[in-house]
């Protein structure tokens, strides 16, 4: 994904997306890996968080960088990552 973006070959397809639902989906996908690192992922949203964005690309970013996303570089494993959102 990132190499295509660098090459200018990345096609962005914006569409309506619920960011709260997307964040929950990514947290569920990364949940097992987080548990192995004694980390907790949580998502707190006040209802839907509507946006117009490319859902596939936005979903891929934390999955493609999951080691950084889950703080692999931390000196010790453990901790909590929380995603909070409120509709404007």
Confidence (pTM): 0.69
Domain annotation covers residue 56: yes
- The whole-number average pLDDT for the span 7-18 is 82
Domain annotation covers residue 39: yes
pLDDT value of position 87: 67
pLDDT digits (tens, 9 = 90+) for 21-45: 998 898 888 888 878 877 777 888 8
Between 21 and 62, the more confident residue is 21
Examine the pLDDT at 73 and tell me if it is beyond 50.
Answer: no
Domain annotation covers residue 84: no
**13-18 own/partner pairs: CB under 8 Å, 24+ apart:** 13/54, 13/56, 14/52, 14/53, 14/54, 15/52, 15/53, 15/54, 15/55, 16/50, 16/51, 16/52, 17/50, 17/51, 17/52, 17/53, 17/55, 17/58, 18/48, 18/49, 18/50, 18/51
pLDDT band at 8 (very low <50, low <70, confident <90, very high): low
Domain annotation covers residue 33: yes
Residues spanned by the domain of 53? 2-73
């Amino acid at each position: 994904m990132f190499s295509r973006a660098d090459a200018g070959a990345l096609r962005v397809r914006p569409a309506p997306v619920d960011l709260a639902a997307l964040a929950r989906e990514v947290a569920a996908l990364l949940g097992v890996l987080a548990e192995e690192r004694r980390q907790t992922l949580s998502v707190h949203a006040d209802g839907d968080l509507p946006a117009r964005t490319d859902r596939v690309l936005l979903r891929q970013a934390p999955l493609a960088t999951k080691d950084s996303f889950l703080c692999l570089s931390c000196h010790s494993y453990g901790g909590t990552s929380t995603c909070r959102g409120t509709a404007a």
